[in-house]
Amino acid sequence: MKYGHFDDDAKEYVITRPDTPRPWSNYLGSTEYGAIITNHAGGYSFYKSAATGRFLRMRFNSVPLDQPGRYFYLRDQESGDFWSASWQPVAKPLDEYQSVCRHGTAYTQIESTYSGIRTEALYFVPLGQTFEYWRLRVTNQSGRARRISVFTYCEFANLWHTYQDLVNLQYSLFITRATLEDGILGVTCNPNYDFDGKDLTGCNRTWMALTGAPLAGVETVRERFLGSYGGYRAPEVVVRGRCSNFLAEGDNVVGGQQADLALAPGETRELIVLLGLGTVGTHGRKTVAEFGGPDRCAAEFARLRAAWHAPLESLHVKTPDPDLDHMVNVWNAYNALITYAWSRSASLIYNGERDGLGFRDTVQDILGAIPLLREGVKPRLELMLTGQLANGGAIPVIKPFSHRPGHEAPPPDEEYRSDDCLWFFNTVPAYVAETGDLEFYRKVLPYADSGEATVFDHLRRALEFNLERTGRNGLPCGLSADWNDCIKLGYRGESVFVSFQVRYGLDVYAGIADRLGRGTDATWARVELGKLDANIQKVCWDGEWFIWAIGQDGTVYGTKNFSEGQVYMNTQVWAVISGAATPAQAEQALRTMKETCATPYGVMLCAPPFIKANPDVMKATLFNAGIKENAGIFSHTQSWAVIAECLVGDGDQAHDYYRAFMPSAHNDRAEVRQVEPYVHCQTTYSRYNINEGAARTPWLSGTASWAYYSATQWMLGVRPEIDGLRIDPCIPKAWPGFSMRRRFRGKTVHITVTNPAGVNTGVKSLTVDGEELAGNVVPAGKLKDGSRIVAVLG
């Protein structure tokens, strides 16, 4: 079933059937003023933190998943019939109610037609502001004069705090108040508490205004708006057609405002709702005066779109796979930027409880943002480097608003993860390659707890952290977790995944050391790498695949003799990515993985699932079979399989693996995947579960970043390096070629790849602006703005 389509020119996903399998969401605003919205106008808003800055309420995990939100109710004052400007919450029958939702870059527009009245509701947060716009255009298409009343509705979260609002009712219901000053609603918690208007953090003050028509009334208490036994579907005020103008002094405060419109045939009216932070006096009145008019609203919308479109224009492709183009040109890039911004904190699933930046997640999220933001990621990358401790390990979660490098306490020993700082070996070189800023390696940055070092030495400490914590077989220990949160190997159990990461890191580090003229460091790394390789070859190869881990009691996971989790995807693909596998092992390991783990929805993280394994070590046992780390399809890891296949030169397999987990490839069967077909998700049920094919936890996942990186830099193979752009595609044999437009070091370059011989990989000839080049790297010095690179495969 198809519920919508991609509009790449507008950079929108257009939902044409509102009864999507689940509410399909989008993001508004920025990390200052953040908001979630769905195709039903459900969602919530928050200042800085979804947990401790929540001021618009949405109740999580209800049915539907997204209520309440930012509603416009419409009522025909003659017939008494009423509906909403989004299909939900009134949910008129779909044979009478037409609706299209356009999710765009940080805005959502919902267009509906019912009983001869067309509405267009546009939601966005203007750039750099602390208020949101809801703009409603109402057009009378019925051919007769109509009297239509419009009612706004949203609920304010008490105390700007998600837990307090949900749990501490004996307190939070007695501190709320609504006021009306100059027609602007003021909503306050702790109204007797002074507020100077300066710091909005936790200020507990919100205002709401309506322009474009006189305010006909307000309703500010939830039960008075909805009725004590009513609901969002048929609110009492809308049924009655009139607000009571009661101003709340306690209980739940809501944003009910009424406007009465008399519409001639063909007439359009525009109402603008502004909802923002601070009081009417400190912020509301000024904001309405400055931003309340239709021209300003339209100008702010144009500015917002341009600002979001600019980074997405950094890289544009045209390939024979239009689904891939939708993702790379718009949605995967946007998904990567949103994940970079919000980490794992705010969505319909994450309700803010994961406040802060998970170390490993954020370092990987940066990888996806680098080609889009370039130098713009530097502060975040430096923040993460200063989250590294002097011992080389990391603080598991970094709090960006309170992090104090040099003053943070190290975590207790049992909380260190083994992989955290190893992700720097993917992200830091990618940053340097994109920007050409080799000096970054020499920049001195503090450690989280004490001391400071160059970025290069931070990398050294990261490797030493793991090399100093090895087990009986000379492999790095798994500590509280490696990438896989569900394996706890402690200080004696060894992680094969991290062994490969360290191998990769040593290799990358040696290359950087060569580049910086640090011969002794390069030699050190190569000696360590040789030792590690010998240990890997001694204990990690099981004959047909690489093992998973060795527990502290000697239990070997991911081996022929252990029937659960026998083949583990990550160690097969990372054996290839790290260069640890011999060519024969690489080929065999990838074949085994394909035979045992590949499915039409992606490669299962392992197979078969865990049922009996000890959950003290293998926490995956706690999950149902066929989801998440227990033989589910983990989206995050899929790109590693794609990269591994590119490394062995199989562009057909790489593309097959890519399409299996690519959301847009499932657009026409969206009822199977269920979640948004335009963004990645964390995990998909595999064949070991009754829900096979259903995807869960959309938007915020390391998948976004790796999918963008693997498509653009490995399949399409346009890879920045310090010296220039390497052109090394690995594509399906049937592709005649593709083209890419890319920003690189301040220039826009056009790359055309042709494939006359129908091969997967291998550049036969390369020219830049007509000049023939040897090899497949275009030196940065030869690139001009508008340069044309032509590569012929063969």
Instruction: Indicate the residue among 121 and 363 with the shorter CB distance to ligand GLC.
Output: 363
Q: In this structure, what token pair is assigned to residue 261?
A: 């419109």
Give least dist CB 656 to ligand GLC, A. 23
Nearer to ligand GLC, 358 or 651 (CB): 358
Round to whole Å and give the CA distance between 639 and 706. 6
Task: Taking the CA atoms of 532, 533, 534 and 538 in sequence, report the sign of the dihedral they define.
Answer: positive
The Cα 358–Cα 511 span in angstroms is: 28
Q: Pick the catalytic residue: 19, 260, 437, 485? A: 485
Q: How far is the CB of 361 from ligand GLC (least distance, A)?
A: 5
Q: How far is C-alpha 686 from the geometric centre of its chain's CA atoms?
A: 22
| Residue 20 or 339 having the CB closest to ligand GLC | 339
Beta carbon of residue 666, minimum distance to ligand GLC (angstroms, whole number)? 20
Q: Which helix (H) or strand (E) holds 260?
A: strand 253-263
In angstroms, the CA 65 to CA 44 distance is 12
**Least distance in angstroms from the C-beta of 629 to ligand GLC:** 5
Rounded to whole angstroms, the Cα distance separating 225 from 183 reads 18
Instruction: Report the C-alpha gap between 58 and 748 in whole angstroms.
Output: 43
Q: How far is the CB of 418 from ligand GLC (least distance, A)?
A: 12
d(CA 770, CA 767): 5
Query: Are 55 and 43 a contacting pair, CB within 8 Å?
Result: no
Of 654, 645, 616, 609, which is closest to residue 630 (Cα–Cα)?
Answer: 609
Q: Which structure tokens are listed for 691?
A: 């829900």
Kindly report the length of the chain. Answer: 794
Whichever of 184 and 681 has its CB closer to ligand GLC, that residue is 681
Which is it for the CA torsion 675, 678, 684, 687, positive or negative? positive
d(CA 710, CA 717) in angstroms, rounded, equals 8
In the bound state with ligand GLC, the residue whose beta carbon lies nearer, of 702 and 724, is: 702
Min dist CB 500 to ligand GLC, Å, is 15
Active site residue 723: no
Beta carbon of residue 478, minimum distance to ligand GLC (angstroms, whole number): 12
Contact between 142 and 113 under an 8 Å Cβ cutoff? The reply is no
Residue nearest to ligand GLC (CB): 485
Element (H, E) at 164: helix 162-167
State which residue, 178 or 422, has the beta carbon closest to ligand GLC: 422
Give 360 or 374: the residue with its C-beta nearer to ligand GLC. 360
Helix (H, G, I), strand (E, B) or coil at 194: coil
Q: How far is the CB of 467 from ligand GLC (least distance, A)?
A: 22
Q: Report d(CA 606, CA 597) in Å as an integer.
A: 6
DSSP 501-557: HHHHHHHHHHHHHHHHT-HHHHHHHHHHHHHHHHHHHHHTB-SSSB--EE-TTSPEE
Residues that bind ligand GLC (CB under 6 A): 344, 358, 360-361, 483-486, 629, 636, 682, 701-702
Question: Which lies closer to ligand GLC via its Cβ, residue 564 or residue 629?
Answer: 629
| Catalytic positions | 485
